[in-house]
Structure 1
Amino acid sequence: MNGEEALKYSRMRKEDPRGDFGRQLRQRQIIQGVIKKGANVSTLWKYDDMLKAVGNNVETNISFDEMKSIQKNYAEARHHVEQIEIEGSGSKIDGVWYYNVPEEERASVQNKLKDHLGL
C-alpha cells in the first residue's frame, strides 16, 4: 500500500469493532512494515531518496549518523517484539472516555516490565 493508504488504514477506528485497540494494532503493523523495509540492506543506499520522501512530514532531532547507527544496531530487534494488551474496561466520566485498569492488572504489567528490564 502507498503512504496515503497506509495513513487511512492506520487511522480508521469507528468501523473497527475493536475501536482504539484495533487502530493501535494497525499502527503497529505499519510501523513494523516501515522498520522491515528500512532494515533491508538495499535501503541503506537509498537514504537520500527516503529523506526526500519523508520531507516535511516528520520532525526529529536524530542526526543522520544516529539514524544509521539505529538501523545498524537494532535492525535485528524487529524480530523480537513482544506485545501485551492491558486488560480493563471503558467508561465515560463527565463526558470523557476512560480506560479503567484494575490494580491487579497494573501490578501484573509492572512485574512483566520489571522482569523484561531485569529490575
Structure 2
Amino acid sequence: MSLKFKLVFFVPRASTQTVLQHLFSRFPNEVGRIGAYGGCAFVSPGTGQFVPLEGANPVIGEVGKPERVEEDRVEVLVLGSRPGAQETEPSGTETGASGVDVRAVLQELKKVHPYEEVAYDVYRLEDF
C-alpha cells in the first residue's frame, strides 16, 4: 500500500493544462490516479496576488509593484512515498513504501510551471 498525498498548487489559467498534462504523462500511475481513472484533478479559479521583492525575476509584474493574476487552484492525488519511509502491513511487518517520491513530483512541477517561485502545499492523506 502506498502513501497518499494531496498536492495543491496555483498556476496562471493559461498554463493549467500544460502543467497537468506534464505531470500526468511523467507519472501516469502516481499523479491523478483514482482507482481505474487517470488524469483526475480538481481545478477551481481564483485570483492570486503578490509583490515581487528586490532580487526577484518575475515572469509577470515588476519588482516592488503589487500584481493580481487570474489563477487556478489545482488539486491532484499523488500515490507516493518518502525516501526511507516505511509502511506497516496489517500483519504488523514493515515494508518499503511504494509509489513515487513526492519530491520528484515537486521537481517536475517546478520544471514546467511558469513562475519563478511555485506556490504549493502537500498534505498526507489517511485511509478510512
Query: Is this a same-fold pair by TM over 0.5?
Result: no
- TM-score w.r.t. length of structure 2: 0.24
Larger RCO (alpha carbons 8 Å, 6+ apart): 2
Q: Between Structure 1 and Structure 2, which shows a larger proportion of strand residues?
A: 2
- TM-score w.r.t. length of structure 1: 0.26
